[in-house]
Amino acid sequence: MSAALSTRSAAWRALGLPGTLVVLDFDGVLARIVHDREAARLSARTRRLLARVAARYPVAVLSGRSAADVAGRLDGVAVRWVVGSHGADWPGAGVRGPRRWRGRVAGWRRTLSGRLRGMPGVEVEDKGHSLSVHFRAARDGARAAAAIARAAADLPGAAAIPGKRVLNLLPEGAGDKGSALRRLAAASGAARVLFVGDDVTDELAFRARLPVPAVTVRVGPVPRSAARYHVRRRGDVDRLLASLAALRDPPRRARSAR
Ligand SMILES: [Mg+2]
């Protein structure tokens, strides 16, 4: 079981030292989970706090959405990296792999759309570099999950990563949030990493073996998370962002006695 995160702990305060990379998931971390995933967005408060953090730290947003989708939801906040599709959608990276993957993903979409046609509450989303089969709207979640798993079991070259009311299908070899976090740590040359996530897929990043120390935080305490720390709810992330920014605020000038 992870420990409740205190922003007064030494581990948290060390994040203010030079060399910290901040990696944040989007849905459920920066944005409140909403029924209609198209409606997910930053609140004005979170946007302001994220901008403050991004002015003080290198920040990466690592999401299951496509990179373009997430980038469009950051409301103009300039972060250093936006990585989508659990790490398969890496803008600026070589296109050889991704181009090959796009064709494969399109093939899965055609197959699954046929197999799952007429299933109420099930929706296949093609994110280019990966596929998500959503069943948030299915009345019997367990039954929908089982049917989707059966339909996806023989898709060529597909790695399945279950999430909250969703089955994600990624090209084998495209990695996952764990390998994406390792890659971000290497690319940034960071001395330490903060990662905040909220979902089953984020557990791969919580468990990632990184070459540098990491503060890992899961939003919403769950009994078997690999994250070292947790906060209770999405709103607590705003508190973390405010604290993170404050760690790098210039020291308040002591009032001059002269
Ligand atoms: Mg999430």
Among 152, 171, 190, the domain boundary falls at 171
Residue with tokens 């103009």: 76
Q: How far apart are CA 13 and CA 17, in angstroms?
A: 8
**Same domain, yes or no: 143 and 194:** no
**Same domain, yes or no: 167 and 47:** no
**Same domain, yes or no: 8 and 81:** yes
**Same domain, yes or no: 12 and 58:** yes
Looking at residue 40, its pLDDT comes to 95
**HSE of 220, CA atoms in CB hemisphere, 13 A:** 14
Q: How far apart are CA 110 and CA 91, in angstroms?
A: 25
In angstroms, what is the span from residue 223 Cα to ligand 1's centroid?
A: 17
**Same domain, yes or no: 84 and 187:** yes
Q: CATH number, domain at 163?
A: 3.30.70.1020
Structural domain includes residue 254 = no
Structural domain includes residue 227 = yes
Looking at residue 175, its pLDDT comes to 85
Give, as residue ranges, everything with CB less than 5 Å from ion ligand 1. Answer: 25, 27-28, 198-199
Give the global pTM.
Answer: 0.91
**Same domain, yes or no: 182 and 166:** no
Structural domain includes residue 253 = no
Note down pLDDT in tens along the chain; length 258 residues: 799 999 999 999 999 999 999 999 999 999 998 888 899 999 999 999 999 999 999 999 999 999 999 999 999 999 999 999 998 888 776 545 667 788 999 999 999 999 999 999 999 999 988 999 999 889 999 999 999 999 999 999 999 999 888 999 999 988 899 999 999 999 999 999 999 999 999 999 999 999 999 999 999 988 899 999 999 999 999 999 999 999 999 777 655 544
Looking at residue 95, its pLDDT comes to 45
**Same domain, yes or no: 119 and 64:** no
Beta bridge partners of 24: 61, 196
**Same domain, yes or no: 143 and 207:** no
Q: How far apart are CA 116 and CA 97, in angstroms?
A: 28
In angstroms, what is the span from residue 199 Cα to ligand 1's centroid?
A: 5
- Could you count the other beta carbons within 10 Å of the beta carbon of residue 42? 20
In angstroms, what is the span from residue 197 Cα to ligand 1's centroid?
A: 6
In angstroms, what is the span from residue 219 Cα to ligand 1's centroid?
A: 9
**Same domain, yes or no: 65 and 191:** yes
In angstroms, what is the span from residue 121 Cα to ligand 1's centroid?
A: 20
In angstroms, what is the span from residue 241 Cα to ligand 1's centroid?
A: 16
What are the CA-CA distances from residue 24 to residues 59, 84, 92, 186, 201 (Å)? 8, 12, 19, 16, 13
Annotation says 126 is catalytic: no
What are the CA-CA distances from residue 70 to residues 1, 101, 142, 152 (Å)? 30, 20, 28, 26
Structural domain includes residue 220 = yes
**Number of domain units in the chain:** 2
**Same domain, yes or no: 166 and 227:** no
Q: CATH number, domain at 45?
A: 3.40.50.1000
Structural domain includes residue 65 = yes
Structural domain includes residue 57 = yes
Looking at residue 77, its pLDDT comes to 97
Structural domain includes residue 252 = no
In angstroms, what is the span from residue 150 Cα to ligand 1's centroid?
A: 25
Among 171, 190, 208, the domain boundary falls at 171
- For the chain, report the end-to-end CA distance as a whole number of angstroms: 53
Looking at residue 256, its pLDDT comes to 53
Among 140, 171, 202, the domain boundary falls at 171
Annotated catalytic residue: which of 25, 176, 198, 236? 25
**Same domain, yes or no: 71 and 147:** no
**Same domain, yes or no: 159 and 213:** no
- Could you count the other beta carbons within 10 Å of the beta carbon of residue 109? 18
Domain span including residue 142: 96-171
Structural domain includes residue 258 = no
